[in-house]
């Protein structure tokens, strides 16, 4: 275990708090209890003295500090009123706090004016706003939009929608060997038809700073508008929009310790002034009439239709104050140490003397976002197994399907760390991952006991009884997980020809396919398959419940109770990426049609 040596590298402003990871961490109640212990998440026993919640999914959203959580309570308890609309004192107080937060954001990203700070629901809405308002205004048939291939869907789909409406064409920039936007390719794509250039400051999968300074400069040479997706960047280093000189910069509050459902769109005033409103209603109007044209409010209100997320904006102010109280270099220094530590531990991870981790691109990332695959193991299987140890990491395509296609992978695992994570948590994660990989290898080698083969018994209505008996004899998640994996080995794999777009079930993070047949006696038989082992195991369990039954029997079967009795109810939760719920719904949907 290395010690936390990186704390006093920088001279810090005397008004700033010295960043001490263990004290910083105490500010986050979901990560640490008031008494310093960590909360149990899944009720699973600890390994040694390690914590029970290891939250490594900060790229998706960060946990919130006390001051942000408390701000909600205070606002609704003492200050709740709508903003800008009333002459009473409460509204004035809410409006003052609301507009103060706008000023805080302006300072935080060094914008020129509060008029350039638009509240949105998040990065996604910010980019949609630009595409629908500016895009619709300036784009015409044949114009070109350049997108980095590694973009999040939030910075792809709005442009696809607007390209379809206007006849503009999307060009994609590929990546260099290290995973950053390839400036040579970019230069080749750039021409006088290029009207908009969209690029993430950092990809949420690759975690490396794209050469956006150069990209913005080059964009200017052809008069193109630059849209920077800052969703991942703002959480990790200071942003100065004037020094970047980008036209737009969008980010989300929830990825930097602030509330969900709130974001910021920075735009240069000269551009925002000339853009039409994006949505209508509420605060965005000046004058509404049926007799004369409706006129619109000035910036920033022109783009803020309807009652905004007032409590969220005020809580976000607290999040910015909270994070700004520390020296950003100290936090960045600590995060760098965590990144190096985790990256090296993964790099050195061996099972049966073989290295098992393959990073999706070479080289250390610039922020603590590490993506990798594991030889012969489906990312979903590993993420599910880690969850059972209280470790939250992300698996799948990370809303970057074109990038997955480019890398020729169906998905990957992502560790994304924050400044409240610790070296001990990384040790615990590596220990659990090692254990899981050994177990998976063991399961692969285990012989299937023919007597227990559910497939052979599938015609027997008692297939569920066999499964329930097997699970009744099992204690603990480890053994249940092992049993699911063993069941998965019994599933007859679908022929490749049947694994196609028609049989694919949407709603699964991993791929799953289903074929349904009905015989002359109105009895259904289903065959299914998945690329993830855990899903194959869960499919055996689901098919045992539904196969060789009539529609009425299938509808009457209490699947929830069945999963509960097996101790697997969490797999039916809509929040799970497993997609088992989607498969169950697909089967019941098919039988309803008959």
- Cite the active site residues: 399
Find the shortest distance in angstroms from Cβ 177 to ligand PLP.
21
**Residues in Cβ contact with 89 at an 8 Å cutoff, skipping those fewer than 6 apart:** none
CB of 312 to ligand PLP, least distance (A): 12
Compare residues 63 and 123 and give the one whose CB is closer to ligand PLP: 123
Q: How far is the CB of 203 from ligand PLP (least distance, A)?
A: 6
Which residues are at the interface with ligand PLP (CB under 6 A)? Answer: 60, 122-124, 152, 154-155, 200, 204, 229, 231-232, 252, 263
User: In angstroms, rounded to a whole number, what is the distance separating the alpha carbons of residues 549 and 554?
Assistant: 6
Q: What are phi and psi of 322, to 5 degrees?
A: -60, -50
CB 339, min distance to ligand PLP, A: 17
327 or 366: CB nearest ligand PLP: 366
CB of 130 to ligand PLP, least distance (A): 13
Q: Residue 260: which of 238, 231, 293, 230 has the closest Cα?
A: 231
Nearer to ligand PLP, 236 or 378 (CB): 236
User: Mind giving me the DSSP string for 88-104?
Assistant: SHHHHHHHHHHHHHHHH
Helix or strand or coil: residue 516? strand
Written in H, E and C, the secondary structure of 104-138 is HHHHHCCCCCHHHEEEECCHHHHHHHHHHHHHHHH
Which tokens is 125 given?
């809405």
Cβ contact 474:480 at 8 Å: yes
**SS3 assignment, position 545:** helix
Give the C-alpha distances (Å, rounded to integers) separating 519 from 449, 514, 544.
Answer: 30, 17, 18
Query: Under a CB-based contact definition with an 8 Å cutoff, are residues 541 and 566 in contact?
Result: yes
- State the DSSP code for 466: H
Query: Is it true that the peptide bond before 574 is cis, omega within 30 degrees of 0?
Result: no
- Nearer to ligand PLP by Cβ, of 154 and 587: the residue is 154
Nearest one of 50, 27, 46 to 426, comparing CA atoms:
50
Residue placing its CB nearer to ligand PLP in the complex, 71 or 123: 123
**Looking at beta carbons only, is 50 or 124 nearer to ligand PLP?**
124
Write down the least CB distance from residue 131 to ligand PLP, Å. Answer: 13
Task: Provide the 3-class DSSP secondary structure of residue 236.
Answer: coil
Token output for 582: 């989607």
CA distance 121 to 404: 27
Strands 394-396 and 285-287: unpaired
Q: How far is the CB of 421 from ligand PLP (least distance, A)?
A: 18
Residue 319 vs 543, nearer CB to ligand PLP: 319
Pair 529, 515: CB distance under 8 Å: no
How far is CA 53 from each of CA 62, 178, 376, 429, 447, rounded to the nearest angstrom?
14, 32, 27, 11, 34
- Buried b vs exposed e over 138-168: b needs ≥16 C-beta within 10 Å? bbeeebbbbbbbbbbebbbbbbeebbeebeb
Quick one: DSSP state of residue 391?
A: E
CB of 54 vs ligand PLP, minimal distance in Å: 20
Closer CB to ligand PLP, residue 62 or residue 373? 62
């Amino acid at each position: 275990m290395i010690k936390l040596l990186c704390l006093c590298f920088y001279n810090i402003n005397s008004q700033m708090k010295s960043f001490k990871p263990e004290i910083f961490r105490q500010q986050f109640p979901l990560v640490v209890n008031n008494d310093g212990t960590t909360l149990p998440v899944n009720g699973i026993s600890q390994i040694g003295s390690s914590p029970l919640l290891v939250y490594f999914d900060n790229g998706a959203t960060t946990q919130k500090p006390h001051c942000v959580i408390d701000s909600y309570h205070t606002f609704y308890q003492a200050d709740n009123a709508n903003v800008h609309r009333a002459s009473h004192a409460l509204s004035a107080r809410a409006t003052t706090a609301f507009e103060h937060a706008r000023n805080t954001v302006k300072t935080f990203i060094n914008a020129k004016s509060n008029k350039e700070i638009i509240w949105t629901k998040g990065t996604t809405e910010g980019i949609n706003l630009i595409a629908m308002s500016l895009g619709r205004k300036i784009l015409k048939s044949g114009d070109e939009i350049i997108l980095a291939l590694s973009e999040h869907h939030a910075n792809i789909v709005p442009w696809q929608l607007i390209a379809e409406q206007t006849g503009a064409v999307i060009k994609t920039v590929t990546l260099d060997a290290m995973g950053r936007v390839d400036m040579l390719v970019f230069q080749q794509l750039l021409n006088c038809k290029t009207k908009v250039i969209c690029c993430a400051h950092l990809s949420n999968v690759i975690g490396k700073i794209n050469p956006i300074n150069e990209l913005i400069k080059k964009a200017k040479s052809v008069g193109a508008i630059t849209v920077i997706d800052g969703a991942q960047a703002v959480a990790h280093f200071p942003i100065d929009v004037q020094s970047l000189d980008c036209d737009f910069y969008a980010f989300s509050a929830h990825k930097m310790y602030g509330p969900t459902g709130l974001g910021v769109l920075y735009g240069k005033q000269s551009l925002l002034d000339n853009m039409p409103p994006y949505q209508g209603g509420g605060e965005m109007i000046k004058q509404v009439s049926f007799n004369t044209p409706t006129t619109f409010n000035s910036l920033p209100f022109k783009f803020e239709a309807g009652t905004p997320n007032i409590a969220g904006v005020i809580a976000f102010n607290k999040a910015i104050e909270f994070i700004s109280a520390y020296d950003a270099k100290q936090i960045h220094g600590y995060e760098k140490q965590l990144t190096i530590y985790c990256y090296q531990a993964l790099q050195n991870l061996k099972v049966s003397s073989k290295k098992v981790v393959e990073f999706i691109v070479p080289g250390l990332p610039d922020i603590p976002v590490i993506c990798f695959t594991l030889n012969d193991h489906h990312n979903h299987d590993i993420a599910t197994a880690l969850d059972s140890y209280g470790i939250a990491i992300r698996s799948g395509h990370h809303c970057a399907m074109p990038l997955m296609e480019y890398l020729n992978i169906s998905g990957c695992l992502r560790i994304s760390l924050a400044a409240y994570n610790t070296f001990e948590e990384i040790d615990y994660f590596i220990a659990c991952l090692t254990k899981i990989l050994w177990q998976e290898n063991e399961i692969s080698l285990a012989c299937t006991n023919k007597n227990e083969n559910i497939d052979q018994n599938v015609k027997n209505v008692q297939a569920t009884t066999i499964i329930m008996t097997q699970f009744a004899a099992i204690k603990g998640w480890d053994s249940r997980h092992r049993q699911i994996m063993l069941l998965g080995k019994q599933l007859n794999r679908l022929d490749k020809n049947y694994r196609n777009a028609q049989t694919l079930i949407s709603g699964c993070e991993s791929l799953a396919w289903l074929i349904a047949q009905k015989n002359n006696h109105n009895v259904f038989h289903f065959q299914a398959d998945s690329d993830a082992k855990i899903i194959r195991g869960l499919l055996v369990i689901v098919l045992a419940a539904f196969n060789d039954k009539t529609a009425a029997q299938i509808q009457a079967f209490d699947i929830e109770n069945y999963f509960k009795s097996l101790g697997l109810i969490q797999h039916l939760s809509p929040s799970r990426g497993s997609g088992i719920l989607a498969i169950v719904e697909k089967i019941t949907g098919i039988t309803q049609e008959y």
